[in-house]
Amino acid sequence: MTDRIPEPAAEAAPRYDFRTAEPRWQDAWSARGAFRVADAPTDGKPKYYVLEMFPYPSGKIHMGHVRNYTLGDVVARYKRARGCSVLHPMGWDAFGLPAENAARERGIHPAKWTWDNIAAMRGELQRMGLSIDWAREFATCDPAYYGQQQKLFLDFLRAGLAERKESWVNWDPVDGTVLANEQVIDGRGWRSGAPVEKKQLSQWFLRITRFAPELLAALDTLDRWPERVRIMQSRWIGRSEGARLGFALERPADGIAEVEVYTTRPDTLFGMSFLALAPEHPLSAAIAARDPKAAAFVAECRSMGTSEAVIETAEKQGYDTGLRVRHPFLKDRTFPVWIANFVLMEYGTGAIFGCPAHDQRDLDFARKYGLAVPPVVLPPGADPASFAIRTEAYVGPGTAFHSGFLDGLAVDAAKRAAIAALEAQGQGKGEVNWRLRDWGVSRQRYWGCPIPVIHCAACGVVPVPEDQLPVRLPDDVSFDRPGNPLDHHPSWKHVACPSCGAPARRETDTFDTFVDSSWYYARFCSPGAAAPVDRAAVDHWLPVDQYIGGIEHAILHLLYSRFFSRAMRETGHLAVAEPFAGLFTQGMVTHESYRAPDGAWLYPEEIERRPDGTAAVRASGLPATVGRVEAMSKSKRNTVDPGAIIDRYGADTARWFILSDNPPERDMEWTEAGVAGAYRFTQRLFRLVEALDPLPRAPRPESFGPAALALRRAAHRAVAAVTEALESFGFNVAVARLYEFANALAEAERAAADPGMGWARREAAGLLARVIAPMMPHLAEELHARLEPASPLPASPLVAELPWPEPDPALLVAETVTIAVQVNGKLRGAIEAAPDAPAEAVLAAAAAEPNVARALEGKRMVKRVHVPNRIVNFVVAG
RNA sequence: GCCCGCCUGGCGGAACGGUAGACGCAGCGGACUUAAAAUCCGCAGUCGCAAGACGUGGGGGUUCGACUCCCCCGGCGGGCACCA
């Protein structure tokens, strides 16, 4: 496709040539090592660790990357200027399925494909002018990284944080691999979209559940995380309080005498109507073995499980087994045992007691099969004689009734009393349950980190000895048949048992790639260490002060990382529990979408916008349909290539536009007009500074004329305002303040003859160059270099190495303030006054303002409100 | 169904409870130009000649004063969803 992004229009005025300037400054930063930091610095500066989620090396960066890394770079450059020693690294999340797909589809080795992509993307990122310490770069597919990961795993294994379990797994038949629960979405594989099957396999698990209470409780300490991320995690961990209790079968069947149930509502036990088993429950299986109808029902549930349509309609279905159980409190009563499709084997005990009056699912089920619905919680103020359940279960507060010894107790007290009674009878106990499951990390894949164990017929699972790490992936693999190439490899898996020396077999599974990204933040502190981390380095740099990335990682990646820091703490690798002290989740980059008359999606470059707002296909002139503004995606072809934008406008322009459009947590719309506007501003700044060139260095004047003083005030106020905006992630506001700053400097050109103006303009320009630097670092250097020979500001070769300017407090105080004057809350005028002028004088002046005086005429003064330097409000009557 | 977020000019958005619409984009007028582009100077919430009135999704409330705080309702977006 030909490149149809238009050149910025030619200009007559002198123009800033970003094409030569940007590489020049990038070289200058690199030559001076401006962004290098030590693993364990001793410079005494406060540390600041800025990290953006590292990219998957797909081959090209996209606008989401540009936004992510621009945000991080602004923070990094700002914090550096504020005197911090800033760790700002970059690396590659380099294992994963696309590399294997490339191998299968195009015959390229995954390693070559990955490293070529990394080289290409590194070049693109470097063109953005990011202040990254590139000496720390690593890729997770490098044995130097994954070998350390294997070492970590062996430590976890020794510490009991990793274990092998025979378990039902989610099997993706298309990808030919096991999926974590989190990777199953609506019963389908998150990547392939294929219906997931249940399969029993021996798998490696990381015991994240061991930290469930801590992972939940510590969320409260993450006060610089978005609230919604914390809520999502807390729901995912899913703590619930309740009771586990046994129901004795009236007549033991199939060798089973009792069914265990988990409930969060032991207070409603007297409202029981039935007991329900999951189709996968052992008792269900036992019944099915001798009851063909039960078997048919169980089979039906299993086949339904994967159909999306059925899951969504989710009708309750059950099968009455004919068995009955005794009630723990009502000794003379028994209840039917059903197998029900809505009971999950994975949660609790795989069996429930049904209390239809106070649980909607149980109610739906009871209504369908005509089961009893006895209410046992009375809402406040309801009449016990007439209270009845119709189509909605009552789940609110109330007091127990029809409930024997619980009668009269409020819900919480009744729960405690019921649990106490169960415990006294030895039939149950209070129990806290968690939704979080252990993390299955085995994947039947080639392009991942090998799990460093050996299976020996005699010795069982034997860890690979440390001196034999890393367990390297073999290079000579073929992808010509489905399944795991490691398993097919003729020799790789055949090894001697490290323990007994007998022939044994290597583990051929590799780690879930989420493992790779769960500790990379720690590795960045000492990327060359011979151990997973250097303790001094992680103790210095961790936690990450500001982590920035997409909301799509709100649960998995962030939760796994929080687990890893704890696991690494337990195994002595680091000291912090929480890896990310601050988290910022950016919005997506969106763009208009376009369609040709035949319905095909078109790239933005293929479209011409007409002045009347319509769009046409460039090549044919036919009318095109302008579609929704939505997230950039290849399928909709509404993508914009960052490389092409940087070619045409430069990195600073791209950075500036992306920051200026809107608040960074919201979705932004990429528009051609917006980029063009940002580009014009870079040229304007350059012209403003160029106009100062011929002026010689001069000492600071004794006094300034009114226009020069006004400029100085505007400049120092702007510095203060930009500082405040940057501190609070208000980048779009910082941009607005910088536009105002530039406008003030431009306006000053017209009062060039004002006393002291030459000096004031150069001071302002110097300040401007330095405060735009976090956002437009190349232009900042260019402006600074031009000003330097004549600048009254302290000399230094690079803005990147200069401290952040401090505004002069004297210039931040206004000479006069404008005070708005209201009458009965309506604006009637405004007066100028000296700052902090006496209240009586201000009130008198306000009342005398002609428009105000007119509004006050003939009225009785009720109240006079005076907010110093802000507003006066006269409250009148009559 | 539950949870979270959002709703301000043509558009993106700004605004410690204190002059709503800063700043930018698009637009309009003017200067420069043979012309255009670029640049520069201006205008610009709506209605109104003006005075003024109205105006931050709708309705109520607190307050001298509400985009901002509280309650109710509506719309849009996102997340979770048989978790007992």
* Residue A561 backbone dihedrals phi, psi, to 5 degrees: -65, -40
Residue A847: left (phi > 0), alpha (psi -120 to 50), or beta? alpha
On the question of pLDDT at A312 being above 50, the answer is no
Distance of CA A852 to the CA centre of its chain: 53
Determine if strand B comes within 7 Å of the CB of A662. yes
**Which nucleotide comes closest to A360 if you measure CA to C1'?**
B82
Mean pLDDT of the A370-396 span: 88
On the question of pLDDT at A196 being above 90, the answer is no
pLDDT tens for A384-442 read: 888 888 888 888 888 999 999 999 999 999 999 999 999 999 999 999 999 998 998 99
**Which nucleotide comes closest to A235 if you measure CA to C1'?**
B80
Task: State the pTM of this model.
Answer: 0.92
User: Residue A140 and residue A123: Cα distance in Å, rounded?
Assistant: 19
**CA(A232)–C1'(B67) in Å?**
29
Distance of CA A740 to the CA centre of its chain: 33
Residues composing chain A:
878
Q: Nearest residue to B19 (CA, C1')?
A: A820
Mean pLDDT of the A64-83 span: 96
Determine if strand B comes within 7 Å of the CB of A827. yes
> Strand order in A85-87's β-sheet?
A85-87, A47-52, A546-550, A583-586
Quick check: helix, strand or coil at residue A377? strand
Determine if strand B comes within 7 Å of the CB of A481. no
pLDDT at A201: 80
- Taking the stretch 128-187 of protein chain A, residues with Cβ within 7 Å of any atom in nucleic acid chain B are none
- Of the listed ranges A226-240, A574-588, A612-626, A772-786, the one predicted with least confidence: A612-626
> Token pair of A320, please?
């009455």
Quick check: helix, strand or coil at residue A682? helix
Task: Assess contact for A445 and A97: CB atoms under 8 A.
Answer: yes
pLDDT at A286: 92
Determine if strand B comes within 7 Å of the CB of A830. yes
Confidence of residue A68 (pLDDT cuts 50, 70, 90): very high
Task: Assess contact for A375 and A366: CB atoms under 8 A.
Answer: no
Q: Which residues of A772-804 are buried (b: 16+ CB within 10 A; e: fewer)?
A: bbbbbbbbbbbbbbbbbebbebeeeebbbebeb
**CA(A659)–C1'(B27) in Å?**
24
Q: Nearest residue to B1 (CA, C1')?
A: A360
**CA(A722)–C1'(B37) in Å?**
34
User: Within A51-134, where are the H helices?
Assistant: 63-81, 97-106, 110-127
List CB contacts of A854: < 8 A, sequence separation 6 or more.
none
Does residue A701 have a cis peptide bond before it, meaning omega lies within 30 degrees of 0?
Answer: no
Q: Which nucleotides of B are covered by protein (CB under 7 A)?
A: 3-5, 12-16, 18-20, 22-27, 37-41, 51-54, 64-66, 78-80, 82-84
The upper half-sphere exposure of residue A511, i.e. CA atoms within 13 Å in the direction of its Cβ, equals 25
Determine if strand B comes within 7 Å of the CB of A342. yes
**CA(A826)–C1'(B73) in Å?**
29
Q: Are strands A85-87 and A47-52 parallel, antiparallel or unpaired?
A: parallel
Residue A350: left (phi > 0), alpha (psi -120 to 50), or beta? left
pLDDT tens for A566-591 read: 999 999 999 999 999 999 999 989 88
Q: Measure the CA angle with vertex A797, ends A796 and A803; round to 5°.
A: 45
Mean pLDDT of the A871-876 span: 92
Name beta bridge partners: A822. A827, A873
Determine if strand B comes within 7 Å of the CB of A736. yes
User: Residue A429 and residue A242: Cα distance in Å, rounded?
Assistant: 9
Task: Assess contact for A284 and A277: CB atoms under 8 A.
Answer: yes
> Token pair of A91, please?
């690396």
- Taking the stretch 547-576 of protein chain A, residues with Cβ within 7 Å of any atom in nucleic acid chain B are 551
pLDDT tens for A242-292 read: 999 999 999 887 788 899 999 999 999 999 999 999 988 999 999 999 999
Determine if strand B comes within 7 Å of the CB of A875. yes
Task: Assess contact for A328 and A338: CB atoms under 8 A.
Answer: no
For chain A, give the percent of residues with pLDDT over 70: 94
- Taking the stretch 737-756 of protein chain A, residues with Cβ within 7 Å of any atom in nucleic acid chain B are 739-740, 743, 746-747, 750
**Which nucleotide comes closest to A305 if you measure CA to C1'?**
B82
**Which nucleotide comes closest to A672 if you measure CA to C1'?**
B25
**Which nucleotide comes closest to A743 if you measure CA to C1'?**
B23
Determine if strand B comes within 7 Å of the CB of A629. no
User: Residue A139 and residue A513: Cα distance in Å, rounded?
Assistant: 12
Determine if strand B comes within 7 Å of the CB of A863. yes
**Which nucleotide comes closest to A346 if you measure CA to C1'?**
B83
> Token pair of A825, please?
């809350």
Task: Assess contact for A270 and A404: CB atoms under 8 A.
Answer: yes
- Taking the stretch 294-313 of protein chain A, residues with Cβ within 7 Å of any atom in nucleic acid chain B are 311
> Token pair of A143, please?
């044995």
**CA(A22)–C1'(B40) in Å?**
28
